[in-house]
Structure formats: C-alpha cells, structure tokens
C-alpha cells in the first residue's frame, strides 16, 4: 500500500477550548499579532483570545482589516504592523480569508517578498501560527496553503509552504452560532468539494480517503439542517469537524479542476469561494463518472448519493439562482483554469474543452 501522509498541526477541539488552553499561547512567545476580520468581535472569538492572551501574560495587537478574498496590500499592511510591534507569533481568527492572510503576514513579518509575494521560497521562515476558524469550510487551520487575490493575473493564487501549517488549531463550533445561512451553506459546499476533489487527486491515498469519506458522511448527515437553515450547537460542531477533516485531506492531496475554475467565478463575479465550488462540483463529477466510473461511484456512495444527478438535486437548494455567463466569457475562464497547476493534480485530465463544458453546464447562459 503506497501513500504519504503528513499532519503536523496540534488540533484542540471542544467547547471553550481557547480559554481552557490559555497557557499554550506562551509557548510561542509573549507578543502576539491577532489577524482577523470584523465578525470575531461579535461572535465571541476575539474576546476569548484576548482573555486567553491576557491571562497568560502575552501582549497583543489586533489587525482586523482583512477583507474577504484577502488582498496583497492588506497582507503587507498586517506584516508591517507585526514587524513594528515585534510580534513573536500570529493568532488568526476568522474564516478562510483571515486564516490565509495570517499565513502570508507571518511570512512577510520574517522575510521581504522582494515585490512578488507569489514567488515566495517555500523553505523560508515564518512566525508561528495559531488558527481559530469561525466558518466551517476552508480547512485553512490544517493546511499549508494561503490563497490570495492576484490582481496581476486576475485570479486567486495559492502559496504553499510547509511552514504555513499552523502550530495549533482550536476548534469550537460556538463561534458559528450567528453565522448567516449563505456563508454556512457555501462553506459546507467548500468542505464537500475538498473531500471529493481530494479523492480524485493523483495524490489521494488510503489515509486521506478514510478522512474524506468520513467528512462526506458527516456532511450528508447535515444536509437536512443546511437546507432548512436551522442549526443546533451539535450541527455546528459536526460541520466544523467535517470541514477540518476535509482540510487534512487537501493538505495531503491538493484540490483539482473545481477550484481552478471557481477562482474566475469569484474574481470576476464575486461568487463566494464555497458557492463557486458548489456550482461546478456536480458537472465536474459527471465528467469523472464517465472517465473514472468506479472511483466516482465510490465517492458518491461515501457522500450518500446514488448518482451525480441525485447529488446535484440535493445541493441545488443551497445554491439558489445561478449566475449566468455567456460562452465567450466562459471560454476565457476555461483557458485560465487550464493553465492552473491543480489541473495536473486530477486523476481525470480536463482539457480546455472539458473545462468549458463543465462551466457551460454549470453557469452557462441558455
């Protein structure tokens, strides 16, 4: 049985785990930069971190200007603050946007980007990272990826480095009690996409499969709550756990064509990341079902669906009305996706025409 598997993140899960493990912060130093967005001040996550840092005698500064789909200027501003403050470590609180931005900030706090952040040397030093997700989707708390908006190439680009694995990830679903229905549903679709794409990756292995299947099983169990838009605390905990499992999967396998195509829907149409993936996933799977039938059936079975159309119908209520985009534009997106490195990562090869057809069937006009 040939496979490789790596997961260096200490995962601490449970109610009030940040406060209960306050002492752990001091193992990374005595000065923290907190990187976050605006919602953590309302959902309790920021005050838990401030209390935990205060209790353990750490000084901290808050940088809360990370926008969704983080930009390079926001990351540079955060890194400047980290350097001026003399931060020993970075605490990221939020969805994938602050969590990814924090990784890039931790990198630039330690090394100059020389003008091109996307050509970062993956062996360079990075400030230690502690991650606290407040959405259940990206799995950034357990991945070595930071995905930033790349205006020069008009897309989103992933920077990958082993040093981007956080030292600790705290999982507490209580921070998601007030998370809106759209973000909850879209982030769950992102997690589903990670588990499915992970199983179709050329790097999929026995252990990543176990985690992907468990993630898909749990997500299927949450589909009723996701469609109803009503969540118990247990639903929140399960969604978060499923997303972290799927994150561990892609940390080992990477993602495939769905993510490559999705970046254009986000960059040019403002589709949230998970929504973009959810729109494309069923038609991507339909192509895989033709070319790799046994594996695709295995994925669908793990996710609790009899067929691709069954799956498409089950997640359609989460997506509502679709973006509709003309052929000429979709052709340009297919071209862009075809040169993305994720394409080579898939067990099924998608050429430009395949990508165009998936885009057309998912968000085509007419």
Contacts to ligand NAP by CB under 6 A: 37-40, 43, 68-69, 94-98, 100, 134-135, 137-140, 143, 145, 147, 156, 175-176, 178-179, 183, 187, 190, 273-274
Which option in Fe ion, ligand NAP, none does residue 184 bind, with CB closer than 5 to 8 A by kind? none
Sign of CA dihedral 8, 31, 112, 153: positive
Which option in Fe ion, ligand NAP, none does residue 74 bind, with CB closer than 5 to 8 A by kind? none
Least Cβ distance, residue 136 to Fe ion (angstroms):
12
Bridge partners, residue 131, by sequence: 92, 169
Least Cβ distance, residue 133 to Fe ion (angstroms):
13
Least Cβ distance, residue 72 to ligand NAP (angstroms):
13
State how far the Cα of 130 lies from the Cα of 152, in Å rounded to an integer: 30
Question: Hey, what are 294's tokens?
Answer: 């046994």
Q: What is the DSSP letter of 307?
A: S
State how far the Cα of 247 lies from the Cα of 114, in Å rounded to an integer: 30
Nearer to Fe ion, 109 or 358 (CB): 358
Backbone angles phi, psi at 112, to 5 degrees: -70, 145
Query: How many residues lie near Fe ion (CB under 5 A)?
Result: 1
User: For the chain, what is the total number of helices (H) and then of strands (E)?
Assistant: 14, 8
Sign of CA dihedral 182, 188, 190, 192: negative
Nearer to Fe ion, 53 or 280 (CB): 280
Nearer to ligand NAP, 265 or 289 (CB): 265
Measured CA distances, 276 to 187, 212, 280 (Å): 10, 20, 7
How far is residue 331 CA from its own chain's centroid?
26
- Comparing every residue's Cβ against Fe ion, the nearest one is 190
State how far the Cα of 341 lies from the Cα of 255, in Å rounded to an integer: 10
CB 31 within 8 A of CB 85: yes
Nearer to ligand NAP, 88 or 100 (CB): 100
Q: Which of residues 155-194 bind Fe ion (CB under 5 A)?
A: 190
Least Cβ distance, residue 197 to Fe ion (angstroms):
9
Contact flags string 189-208 toward Fe ion, x per CB under 5 A: -x------------------
In this structure, the strands spanning 145-150 and 155-160 are antiparallel
Least Cβ distance, residue 215 to Fe ion (angstroms):
13
- Buried b or exposed e, range 270-279, using 16+ CB within 10 angstroms: ebbbbbbbbb
Which option in ligand NAP, Fe ion, none does residue 156 bind, with CB closer than 5 to 8 A by kind? ligand NAP
Nearer to ligand NAP, 213 or 273 (CB): 273
Least Cβ distance, residue 176 to Fe ion (angstroms):
17
Note whether 235 binds Fe ion by CB under 5 A: no
State how far the Cα of 242 lies from the Cα of 234, in Å rounded to an integer: 12
Least Cβ distance, residue 68 to ligand NAP (angstroms):
3
Which option in Fe ion, ligand NAP, none does residue 78 bind, with CB closer than 5 to 8 A by kind? none
Q: Position of tokens 């050429």?
A: 351
Which option in ligand NAP, Fe ion, none does residue 10 bind, with CB closer than 5 to 8 A by kind? none
Nearer to Fe ion, 190 or 237 (CB): 190
State how far the Cα of 277 lies from the Cα of 221, in Å rounded to an integer: 20
Least Cβ distance, residue 306 to Fe ion (angstroms):
26
Task: Report the interface residues with Fe ion, using CB under 5 A.
Answer: 190
């Amino acid at each position: 049985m040939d496979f490789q598997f790596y997961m260096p993140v200490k995962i601490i899960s449970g109610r009030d785990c940040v406060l209960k493990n306050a002492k752990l912060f001091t193992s990374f130093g005595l000065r923290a930069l907190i990187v976050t967005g605006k919602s953590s001040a309302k959902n309790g996550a920021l005050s838990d971190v401030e209390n935990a840092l205060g209790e353990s005698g750490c000084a901290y500064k808050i940088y809360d200007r990370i926008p969704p789909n983080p930009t390079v200027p926001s990351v540079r501003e955060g890194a400047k603050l980290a350097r001026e403050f003399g931060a020993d470590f970075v605490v990221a609180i939020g969805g994938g946007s602050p969590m990814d931005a924090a990784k890039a900030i931790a990198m630039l706090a330690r090394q100059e980007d020389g003008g091109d952040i996307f050509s970062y040397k993956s062996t360079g030093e990075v400030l230690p990272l502690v991650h606290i997700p407040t959405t259940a989707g990206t799995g950034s708390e357990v991945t070595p990826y930071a995905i930033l908006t790349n205006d020069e190439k008009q897309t989103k680009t992933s920077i990958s480095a082993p040093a981007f694995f956080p030292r600790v990830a705290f999982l507490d679903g209580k921070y998601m009690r007030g998370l809106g229905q759209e973000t909850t549903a879209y982030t769950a679709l992102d997690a589903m996409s990670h588990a499915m794409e992970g199983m179709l990756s050329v790097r999929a292995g026995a252990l990543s499969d176990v985690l992907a299947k468990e993630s898909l099983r749990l997500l299927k169990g949450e589909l009723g709550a996701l469609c109803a838009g009503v969540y118990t605390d247990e639903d929140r905990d399960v969604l978060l756990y499923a997303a972290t499992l799927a994150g561990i999967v892609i940390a080992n396998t990477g993602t495939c064509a769905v993510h490559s195509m999705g970046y254009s829907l986000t960059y040019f149409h403002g589709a949230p990341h998970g929504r973009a993936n959810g729109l494309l996933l069923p038609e991507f799977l339909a192509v895989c079902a033709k070319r790799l039938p046994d594996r695709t059936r295995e994925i669908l079975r793990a996710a609790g669906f009899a067929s691709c159309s069954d799956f498409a119908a089950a997640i359609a209520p989460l997506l509502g009305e679709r973006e509709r985009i003309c052929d000429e534009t979709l052709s340009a997106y297919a071209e862009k996706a075809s040169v993305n490195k994720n394409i080579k990562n898939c067990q099924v090869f998608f050429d430009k025409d395949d990508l165009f057809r998936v885009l057309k069937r998912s968000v085509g006009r007419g």
